[in-house]
Structure 1
Amino acid sequence: MTEVTPITLLRGIESRVRHSAKGLPEQGEVAQTWSGIGFRIGEHHFVAPMSEVKEILRVPDFTRLPNVQSWVLGVSNIRGRLIPIIDLNDFLSYESNQAIRNRRILVIEQNEQSDGLVIDGVEGMQYFPIDDFDESTPNIPEGIKPFVSGHFVKDKRIWCRFNMRELFESEEFQGVAV
């Protein structure tokens, strides 16, 4: 009678496992994706490229400024930097039904100037297949259209691609003085 050693037993288990194991699934073609920060203005959903949003914050305390447009709420000291706090809804002539403290800020930076854009809500990171991008502008308010460069559709929701650079470079956005 042959003696069953632990090594013999392990070799038997290995043989049975190898025989019944399935191979690795075939690796299909990996679709390229586009990612960005999702946010809301009213019931409209937008996504901005990660490279255009520096950080996301709760609305901080801010100091009001005289002789500025109504959409410039004031300035805030954020980590030692004075950052203008801008109500993006008001700038785009789109009324918000949320209290200012329940909203969020997207901090953008262009040409070494930072601005805090108050928006209705943040929808987290969003990922879309690049091939799903549609350059047409969906049905959104006219005041927002100049800053939208197309859209994606995911889970039956339209996500407009918001171009922060276009916003920043627009004459209206730069004209903060009254």
Structure 2
Amino acid sequence: MNQAIATKRRTGPFETLLDYEERSLAHVAGRPEMIEAPGHWRGVGFRLGQRRLVASFDEVVEILPLPAVTPVPGAQPWMLGVANVRGNLVPVVDLKLFLEGERTIVHEGQRVLVVRQAGGNVAVIIDELFGQRTFNDSHRAGAEGLDDGRYAYFVSQAYRLAEHTWGVFSMTLLTRTPEFRQATT
């Protein structure tokens, strides 16, 4: 009888959870987005104007609803101002206005991509968010039409998936561009 009680104690809820934890830790393979798969590339898909673009996960810190923006006097028109993001002041840029000269129409549910840059993050407004996109080498395509005008410096490759071509947009190059870094008039 004592052995039955001891067995029952070892299989209680807490012990069961400990067993689950031990077994799951023994088989950790890593988060799917952290696993390197040869020939695969993942990024955050978004739209600017008529272009479907994708930025590397390494370049996008987070995706947020458009925060309240305080204008900065003397800033370029594409520099909308600064926003308080969890106690940090983050510049907010209208990316379409910077690249195309056309202001983004702000709507409810508007999203910004928070991007790494030297000296702190910057938030860029996009027209539409598509979320994670995964491509493989067989999806590679020419970037024609996605790499014209001011986009030429930031889009060097593309992927074709179903009926859409996605240009790989380099946020790193964007944040290193002297014009982007000089947001005052």
Change (3 A) 1:94 1:128: farther
Map residues 10-159 of structure 1 onto 2, 5 A cutoff: 32-96=39-103, 98-134=105-141, 136-140=142-146, 141-159=148-166
Q: Once the 2 structures are TM-superposed, how far is the Cα of residue 101 of structure 1 from its aligned partner?
A: 4.2
Distance in 2 (CA, whole Å) between partners of 1:94 and 1:145 is 15
The 10-residue stretch of structure 1 (113-122 or 141-150) with the greater mean CA deviation from structure 2: 141-150
Change (3 A) 1:156 1:31: farther
Q: RMSD of the alignment, in Å?
A: 1.8
Matched residue of 2:166: which SS?
Answer: strand
Checking the alignment, whether the CA contact within 8 Å between 2:96 and 2:104 is kept in structure 1 is no
**Structure with the greater alpha carbon radius of gyration:** 1
Matched residue of 1:85: which SS?
Answer: strand
Q: Once the 2 structures are TM-superposed, how far is the Cα of residue 172 of structure 1 from its aligned partner?
A: 1.1
Report the TM-score when normalising by structure 2.
0.74
Checking the alignment, whether the CA contact within 8 Å between 2:97 and 2:104 is kept in structure 1 is no
Distance in 1 (CA, whole Å) between partners of 2:48 and 2:155 is 13
Matched residue of 1:66: which SS?
Answer: coil
Q: Once the 2 structures are TM-superposed, how far is the Cα of residue 110 of structure 1 from its aligned partner?
A: 2.1
Distance in 1 (CA, whole Å) between partners of 2:140 and 2:71 is 40
Supply the AA of the counterpart residue of 2:143. T
Q: Once the 2 structures are TM-superposed, how far is the Cα of residue 171 of structure 1 from its aligned partner?
A: 1.2
Distance in 2 (CA, whole Å) between partners of 1:125 and 1:92 is 23
Distance in 1 (CA, whole Å) between partners of 2:57 and 2:171 is 11
Corresponding residue of 2:169:
162
1:39-67 deviation per Cα after TM superposition (whole angstroms, max 9, x unaligned): 00012100001010000011110110001
Matched residue of 2:179: which SS?
Answer: helix
Checking the alignment, whether the CA contact within 8 Å between 2:47 and 2:126 is kept in structure 1 is yes
Instruction: Give 4+ residue runs of structure 1 displaced > 4 Å after superposition.
Output: none
Checking the alignment, whether the CA contact within 8 Å between 2:45 and 2:53 is kept in structure 1 is yes
Corresponding residue of 1:17:
none
Matched residue of 1:92: which SS?
Answer: helix
Checking the alignment, whether the CA contact within 8 Å between 1:65 and 1:75 is kept in structure 2 is yes
Checking the alignment, whether the CA contact within 8 Å between 1:59 and 1:100 is kept in structure 2 is no
The 10-residue stretch of structure 1 (60-69 or 136-145) with the greater mean CA deviation from structure 2: 136-145
Corresponding residue of 1:27:
none
